[in-house]
Amino acid sequence: MVEKLTAVKGMNDILPPESARWEALETAVRDVMRLHAYRNIRTPIVEPTALFVRGLGEVTDIVEKEMYSFEDRLNGEQLTLRPESTAGVVRAVVEHNLLYEGGKRLYYMGPMFRHERPQRGRYRQFHQIGAEALGFGGPEVDAELILLAVALWKAIGLQDVRLELNSLGQPPERLQHRAALIAYFEQHADQLDEDAKRRLHSNPLRILDSKNPAMKELNDAAPKLLDFLGEESLAHFNAVKAILDVNGVNYRINPRLVRGMDYYNLTVFEFITERLGSQGTVCGGGRYDYLIGEIGGKHAPAVGWALGVERVLELLKEQGSPSPDVAADAYAIVPEASSLPRVMPVLQTLRSMGVSVQMHAPTGAADGMGSMKSQFKKADASGARYALVFGPDELASGQVTVKALRDGQGAQRTEALGHVAEWGHSLQSTLLP
Ligand code: ATP
Ligand code: MG
């Protein structure tokens, strides 16, 4: 026997009927993005490694230990499977000079790759949906993005997420805070874990992002960035909060919220749930006014967020939200293969009218179509609302029997094959109560 090949650990196949939940989320995202005038951008999954090292920061979890980086065997280029998409979007915006006529509102969906320990809500290939507003510096766009996320939660029926908010201030404020942070951690050097010791002088803010429970108490008592903010940063933060207030969006200020990448400044936020254990952040984002400059563009402000698709869907399931109906409207029962040339054009007409039809087909070329009884069994199991019976008697009189399988079980009527346009619509699920 040939050895079976399996998917890479931490990388999942998304199969039907589960994939219907993905499609439903994607449809809701497209609607909500359109309503907020965000347009779709698609960037490559592979980018130069330098983009992430420069963009995300050298001393971050992602760059230090999570990236799938490799050398292109053919030309020696250093490449990386994207661990997130903001850096790639910024690269594309700069490369194509998209900001020359003003700000751009963009969104994306797609797979990301991080070499982490696989567990519930944490995978090596996972999927993000993200929104980015580039070229806008004011607090109203920070708020718009948060409102956009809230609108999405409403559209998909997501409950039990709370919004946490913080401000990381501006570079001079960060510098002051950094000095205070180093002094504080040096005083408690004996309580630092390995990561923290290593980062103490290279990137002390990252220590606050630690996932090590043993570091929590120490981090909780650390100097807060909020206490170092100057007037302008505070005004920006207060303006964001005021807009959320008038829109009835609840939030909690979390002075410990720093996010995992170095590119953030001013507003940062996360939507968090208690229902997914320690993988509770479903969406995170913030302002990144210096990233465009760092990636080689002309300085321009920007703000954005990304949500984890797996975590959002997991939470929806956890809440008991039903899976979308994937059954076809009708299942075509065809006792004799010889009638297929007459049957199949009828099915195509129905489909062109928007009626979804699953046609019975035998498993192997040599098998017959199977008995009526076994075909009805398949029709029932498919979940279709109607069976269309193309039996020899029906066909001889130019008709088809339409039998209700679910609502009004067993009710049946005959319809003329020559007048599909007149009765076909009645099978459409969108017309049913
Ligand atoms: P975490 O703190 O859980 O590691 P993060 O801060 O690394 O998350 P971001 O880089 O901000 O996450 O990514 C945004 C969102 O993408 C997260 O809030 C989460 O929902 C999702 N996400 C991040 N990493 C993974 C992963 N390995 N598997 C599944 N979802 C992920
Ligand atoms: Mg992470």
H or E element in which residue 330 lies? strand 330-333
* CA torsion, ordered 12, 383, 432, 424, to nearest 10 deg: 110
Average pLDDT over residues 421-427: 94
The residue extents of the domains of the chain are: 18-169+229-318, 330-431
Q: Of 193-197, 372-376, 384-388, 429-433, which range is least confident?
A: 429-433
Give the pLDDT of residue 364.
76
Give the pLDDT of residue 431.
66
What is the band of 368 on the pLDDT scale with cuts at 50, 70, 90? confident
Q: Does residue 88 contact residue 44 with C-beta atoms inside 8 Å? A: yes
Give the pLDDT of residue 432.
59
Q: Cα–chain-centroid distance for residue 142? A: 20
Average pLDDT over residues 294-298: 94
| 120 vs 99: CA distance, rounded Å | 39
In CATH terms, the fold of domain 18-169+229-318 is BirA Bifunctional Protein; domain 2 (3.30.930)
Cβ of 209 less than 6 Å from ligand 1: no
Question: What are 346-355's pLDDT values in tens digits?
Answer: 999 999 999 9
Average pLDDT over residues 36-50: 98
Q: Of 114-128, 310-324, 398-412, which range is least confident?
A: 398-412
Asked whether residue 345 carries a pLDDT value surpassing 60, the answer given is yes
Cβ of 283 less than 6 Å from ligand 1: yes
Average pLDDT over residues 274-288: 94
| 3-state SS assignment for residue 51 | helix
Q: Which of 61, 81, 279 to mutate to test the pocket of ligand 1 (most atoms within 8 A of CB)?
A: 279
Asked whether residue 291 carries a pLDDT value surpassing 90, the answer given is yes
Q: What is the second-level CATH architecture of the domain 330-431? A: 3-Layer(aba) Sandwich (3.40)
Distance 311 CA to ligand 1 centre (A): 9
Closest CA to 426 of 402, 391, 400, 394: 402
In 281-321, alpha helices (H): 291-294, 309-318
Positive/negative CA dihedral, 367, 369, 370, 374? positive
Atom 24 of ligand 1 has which residue's CA nearest to it? 122
Q: In ligand 1, which atom is closest to the CA atom of 282? A: 20
Asked whether residue 379 carries a pLDDT value surpassing 90, the answer given is yes
| 305 vs 145: CA distance, rounded Å | 8
Distance 8 CA to ligand 2 centre (A): 19
Mean pLDDT of the chain: 95
Percentage, residues of the chain above pLDDT 90: 89
Atom 29 of ligand 1 has which residue's CA nearest to it? 122
Asked whether residue 411 carries a pLDDT value surpassing 60, the answer given is yes
How many residues in total does the chain contain? 433
Asked whether residue 433 carries a pLDDT value surpassing 70, the answer given is no
Give the pLDDT of residue 262.
85
Contacts of residue 145, defined as CB under 8 A and 6 or more positions apart, other chains included, come to 131, 133, 285, 303, 304, 305
Contacts of residue 201, defined as CB under 8 A and 6 or more positions apart, other chains included, come to 182
Asked whether residue 328 carries a pLDDT value surpassing 90, the answer given is yes
**Whole-prediction pTM value?**
0.94
Average pLDDT over residues 378-405: 96
* DSSP letters for 335-368: S-GGGHHHHHHHHHHHHHTT--EEEP--SSTTS-
Question: What are 252-263's pLDDT values in tens digits?
Answer: 999 989 888 888
* CA torsion, ordered 196, 293, 167, 235, to nearest 10 deg: 150
Closest CA to 251 of 136, 349, 149: 149
| 20 vs 251: CA distance, rounded Å | 32
Cβ of 218 less than 6 Å from ligand 1: no
Give the pLDDT of residue 1.
80
What is the band of 63 on the pLDDT scale with cuts at 50, 70, 90? very high
Question: What are 156-177's pLDDT values in tens digits?
Answer: 999 999 999 999 999 999 999 9
Q: Cα–chain-centroid distance for residue 228? A: 34
What is the band of 366 on the pLDDT scale with cuts at 50, 70, 90? confident
Question: What are 133-159's pLDDT values in tens digits?
Answer: 999 999 999 999 999 999 999 999 999
Cβ of 285 less than 6 Å from ligand 1: no
Q: Which of 25, 120, 126 to mutate to test the pocket of ligand 1 (most atoms within 8 A of CB)?
A: 126
* CA torsion, ordered 272, 284, 229, 223, to nearest 10 deg: 60
